[in-house]
Structure 1
């Protein structure tokens, strides 16, 4: 489990930071919070789309679905949150 989470974190590190910033923003919409909770539940849940015991494919579903879900949420952020995140990255 830890190996899977470590690999997943290395894939989504930048996007996860941006998502975390967006969640803490005062104008964060409810759908963003709900989507983030659902992604976290999927990562931590022992029930997967493809069980982890299936060689290769069991881990690949997590490594594809989670980054895609995070990107999907980030692409739908309101413009003011995107601008605030860009200002934060710029320093």
Structure 2
């Protein structure tokens, strides 16, 4: 069960980092676009695997959203990514 807790904590940090990318004026447009595309894919009714198929439909949303977020983070300069991760880690530890 503790692995699920760690997974949820990691997921929360990734979402906070995505939000920080969208809000930071130093983030390149490509990173912001990939972040928005990740969010849109997750909430979109159009999927590669329909959500009507239990578990697989949700997994495809999560996996593609996660991969798009990782792509967005690759577009960030290393020092900006490090700075945003430190800020997110500080907020996540404060709660």
Instruction: Please report the TM-score for the alignment, with normalisation by the length of structure 1.
Output: 0.72
Distance (Å, rounded) in 1 between the aligned partners of 2:61 and 2:86: 31
User: Aligned pair 1:51/2:38, yes or no?
Assistant: no
Q: Whole-Å Cα distance in 1 between the matches of residues 32 and 74 of structure 2? A: 14
Look up the match of 2:71. Answer: 72
Query: Which of 72-81 and 27-36 deviates more?
Result: 72-81
Encode CA deviations 1:16-61: one digit per residue, 9 max, x unaligned: 1112112222211111121112111111111111001123311121
1:30 aligns with 2:29: yes
- Give the root-mean-square deviation of aligned CA atoms: 2.2
- 1:85 aligned counterpart, secondary structure: helix
Kindly report structure 1 stretches of 4+ aligned residues shifted beyond 6 Å: none
- Stretches of structure 1 lacking an aligned partner (at least 5 in a row): 1-9
- Unpaired runs of at least 5, structure 2: 1-7
Q: Which has the higher contact order (CA 8 A, sep 6+)?
A: 1
8 Å CA contact 2:22–2:32 kept in 1: the answer is: yes
> How many pairs are equivalent?
82
